[in-house]
């Protein structure tokens, strides 16, 4: 299973899911991060619709208000087990549990580490189970 950047969930889509899971209205979240009442809902709606990009500063404020990591708004490659877990959560959210299972099965069955040519069979075993 492969996902291209075009198929990935956008930061705005992620924001909307997190906002709704935290039971914030557009206006309430906008006011919480410091926007004036008359434009708070519009500003958050623009982020969710990807009409405005999330700067690091705005992402940090939104993350604080939603009590999540700002990394939830990022789409970089995972560098730690925590980041891998977070990515798996988003893959499950967007594509369903079966997608996570399928991804893992593909990786496990096809010896992904070994296929890169970087690791031999013993190193693959150690990386998977060591």
Q: Cα angle at 116 between 115 and 119, to 5 degrees?
A: 90
Name residue, tokens 């926007």: 35
Whole-angstrom Cα distance, residue 44 to residue 65? 12
Q: Is the pLDDT of residue 91 over 60?
A: yes
Complete domains list, the chain, with CATH = 10-73 (1.10.260.40), 81-129 (no CATH)
Judge if pTM exceeds 0.75. Answer: no
How buried is residue 48: exposed, middle or buried, by Cβ count under 10 Å (0-12/13-18/19+)?
buried
Pick from 16-20, 47-51, 87-91 the range whose average pLDDT is largest. Answer: 47-51
- Residue 122 contacts by C-beta under 8 Å, 6 or more apart in sequence? none
pLDDT tens-place string over residues 94-108: 889 998 888 787 777
State the greatest distance between any 2 C-alpha atoms of the chain, in Å, as a whole number. Answer: 62
Q: Is the pLDDT of residue 119 over 90?
A: no
Mean pLDDT of the chain: 80
């Amino acid at each position: 299973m492969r996902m291209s950047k075009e198929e990935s969930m956008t930061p705005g889509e992620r924001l909307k899911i997190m906002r709704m899971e935290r039971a914030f209205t557009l206006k309430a979240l906008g006011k919480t991060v410091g926007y004036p009442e008359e434009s708070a809902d519009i500003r958050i709606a623009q982020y969710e619709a990807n009409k405005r990009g999330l700067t690091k500063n705005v992402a940090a404020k939104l993350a604080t208000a939603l009590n999540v990591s700002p990394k939830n708004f990022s789409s970089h490659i995972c560098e730690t087990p925590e980041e891998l877990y977070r990515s798996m959560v988003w893959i499950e959210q967007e594509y369903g549990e079966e997608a996570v299972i399928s991804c893992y099965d593909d990786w496990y069955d096809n010896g992904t580490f070994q296929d890169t040519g970087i690791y031999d069979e013993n190193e693959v075993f150690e990386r998977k189970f060591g």
